[in-house]
Amino acid sequence: MTIGVLTALAILEGIIIIGLSVVLFWMKRSNRAIMDQAKQMVNGKLDVEDVSLEKQEKDAAVVAGAFNAIKNNLMTFVEATKSNVVVLSDAIHELFDNAEANKQGNKKMADQVAAVKVKADEQLELVKVNLELIESNNVQMADISDSVKVMKDVLDDTVNISEGGIKSLEGYEKDMEVVSEDLGKMDELLNGFNDDIMRIEEVGDFIINISEELSLLAFNASIEAARVGQVGKGFAVVADEMNEMSLKTKEGMATINQIVEGIIVSSQQINDSMKACEKTFNDSKSTFTEVNSSFRTINGNASDIQDRINEITKKVRVIETNSDESKNKATHLYDASIAISESTKDMTVVSEQTALQATGIRENVESLDNMLSGIQRLLKQFNTAVVPVKKNRAKKVKIYAMSMLDNDFWYGVRRGACYARKELSDLNAEVNYFPLGLSGGDPGKEVRDLLEQGMSEGIDAVILPGFIGGISDHLRRASAAGIKVVAFNCDFGPDVKRLACFSSDSEQCGVLAAKAAEKHLGKAGKIAIIAGVKTNISFEDRKNKFISYLSRNKNMVIASVKEVNDFPEDTYKKVTDMIHQIPDLQLIYVVTGTPLAAAKAIEDCKAVGRVALVCFDHSPEIFAYIRKGVIAAAVGQDSFGQGHDPIVWIYNHIVTGEPLPSEQMICRLSVVDKDNVSTVIDV
């Protein structure tokens, strides 16, 4: 916010006060009720109810309406200014800190620029040396490239030779297999030859046995021939011949046996030699298999080395390319370093000028802060809400405030809470405001976690809406721990012991909404109600009092009541269904905090002018729908006050020890409709 805007706001406020004084002077002669409230406003108390327009003469009603409009707009202006003061104050402090930091930074930068220049000169020299190194690297890379090329050629020859060796070994291996087969056949033949020799030996033994038997027969025959005498001489001759033949046969067979035994010994030696040869051959074959495998491994490794050399060659080429590009970049860097060296001289001068400008900015910020303090003093003349007592407690007061933040009403609550935090910041108080439900999670769990945190930090009080479910046990624990529990907007259930509740009068809300419905319909028409969940006491009171008030007029008919879960999508669907299902529907009363969804449903159903809304809360969007005729009237519940007043009330109670004004404190209500929407300031 600029100084010009703040000045314009101050002028506007002065005009409003002058106009108000003129109106008050004229009203003094016509309406005592207006005068009573005007006196309170003159004394700075703006938080007063609107002057009733009922049972007023036409001129008096006009004056009262003007009075209400001026009072409400002044209150809106003051509360909006308070909100802007919080924002502007934070911005000024941040700007002041930034200006001071900028001043110190510029001074530091000016000191460092000289050092930068020295470093720039060093950088210039380093870049020059780097260029020389890059050039040397290029030479070395060229030598490496040549060496790699030679290695590649040698490896190519090695691969070719090893491939030829592998082929030769494969042929030799085939020949060795043929020799192995032949040796196997020879071994079989020698084994057969040995068998034949063994059979010959057996035959020789047989012949020797026969010879011995013949010799024995000849001996017997000689004996018989001698006994028979001359008659057996011929038989004796035969016996001698048989004996001689037997001796010769035995001698021959002995010679044959000696020869056979020699053959057997030679055959065994040949067999042993063949087996030794076969063993040696098999060992040699295994050795050649290993040699063949080694050659294959060598060939594979050589191929792998060849592939790697090819990759190295590619990378060397990339390095050469990068080196050339690096050389070009280094050349540009060298030129840039020269430019930097020259620019740092100018930067020193600019830094000194910037430091002087930062000093001027700091002075302007201080002037703006002084002006903001004046605005705050001016605002304190108008009490739109409870005022904190000027008393500090030795121990810091710690307060947790929580609320939803899903529609315009809660944004107003947040503005009030932030202004209370600003008011109490100089009074040794720490107010922490926590928005609920922003992440789409369970607000009850968020509250439980915050209460656990607050109990561990030793907070003094916690302030939150009473409609959040699943937190009763934690609230009871907090209360037992000495934490003061305060509800606002909606009271807790009877199972929670709280210190007080600050809210609108929900029954009066229902009455004001019913009067607005009568005014719009001319006391006759068909109405539907969008009701909240029954567990929300405020919603139930608004609904029941609305129905009760209209029940005295038989021409006001409640055609349908539908409960919604306070989500815009649910409200939009239910309103759309009502418009389609009730052709002669004229007005919808929205109890919950989703009137904008209902207004959009009326527009989308093309029912503007036929169906209107009565709802709650004030915002620029609500006022725009009133001007378009979609919303007939909106009841305001002082969202700023609901966020601000409970915090200040509980602070005053803690530091003074005095009881609260009441366990049930009521906020201000106001109604905006087509008759006064043009006089409302949209903020």
The length of the chain in residues reads 683
Residue 75 near residue 47 (C-beta atoms within 8 A): yes
Q: For residue 613, what are its two tokens? A: 């809304």
Residues 6+ away with beta carbon under 8 Å from 657: none
Overall average pLDDT of the 446-461 stretch: 97
429: helix, strand or coil:
strand
Q: Rank 255-264, 329-338, 626-635 by mean pLDDT and report only the highest.
A: 626-635
Pairwise CA distance, residues 127 & 191, whole Å = 91
d(C-alpha 662, C-alpha 491), whole Å: 14
C-alpha to C-alpha distance for 596 and 254, rounded to whole angstroms: 139
Query: From the CA atom positions of the chain, what is the Rg in Å?
Result: 59
At 556, is the pLDDT very low, low, confident or very high (cuts 50, 70, 90)? very high
The three-state secondary structure class of 681 is coil
Q: Which amino acid is at 432?
A: N
Sign of CA pseudo-dihedral 412, 413, 415, 419: positive
3-state per-residue secondary structure call for 285-334: HHHHHHHHHHHHHHHHHHHHHHHHHHHHHHHHHHHHHHHHHHHHHHHHHH
According to CATH, what is the number of the domain 385-504+644-657? 3.40.50.2300
Instruction: Evaluate if residue 338 carries a pLDDT over 90.
Output: no
CA–CA separation, 338 vs 326, rounded Å?
18
Least reliable range by pLDDT among 137-151, 548-562, 602-616: 137-151
Q: Where are the beta strands (DSSP E) in 370-445?
A: 397-404, 429-436
**Identity of the residue numbered 655:** V
DSSP string, 178-202: HHHHHHHHHHHHHHHHHHHHHHHHH
Rounded CA gap, 29 and 145, in Å? 110
523 token code pair: 């006391």
Residue 382 φ/ψ, nearest 5 degrees: -115, 115
Percent of all residues in the chain with a pLDDT value above 70, rounded to a whole number: 52
Please tell me which of 233-237, 344-348, 493-497 the model is most confident about, judged by mean pLDDT. 493-497
The segment(s) of the chain belonging to CATH 3.40.50.2300 are 385-504+644-657, 506-636
- Cβ neighbourhood burial of 8 (10 Å; 0-12, 13-18, 19+): exposed
pLDDT tens, position by position, 121-170: 666 666 666 666 666 766 666 766 676 666 667 667 666 776 666 666 66
Determine the pLDDT at residue 307: 74
Question: What confidence score (pLDDT) does residue 173 get?
Answer: 65
Residues of the chain with CATH 1.10.287.950: 46-384
DSSP 49: P
Output the CA torsion sign for 438, 439, 440, 443: negative
Asked if the model's pLDDT at residue 665 lies above 70, the reply is: yes
Mean pLDDT rounded to a whole number for the chain: 77
489 closest CA partner among 563, 418, 403: 403
Contacts of 609 (CB under 8 A, 6+ apart): 629
For range 508-522, the mean pLDDT: 96
Contact 579, 585 (CB under 8 A): yes
- Look at residue 588 and tell me whether its pLDDT is greater than 90: yes
Of the candidates 152, 414, 192, the one whose C-alpha atom is nearest the C-alpha of residue 303 is 152
CA 612/CA 617 separation, integer angstroms? 16
Whether 675 and 633 have beta carbons less than 8 Å apart is answered as no
Banded pLDDT at 269 (limits 50, 70, 90):
confident
CATH topology of domain 46-384: Helix Hairpins (1.10.287)
List, for residues 63-88, the tens digit of each pLDDT value.
Answer: 566 566 565 665 565 555 655 556 55
Return the CATH fold of 506-636: Rossmann fold (3.40.50)
- To which H or E segment does residue 502 belong? strand 500-503
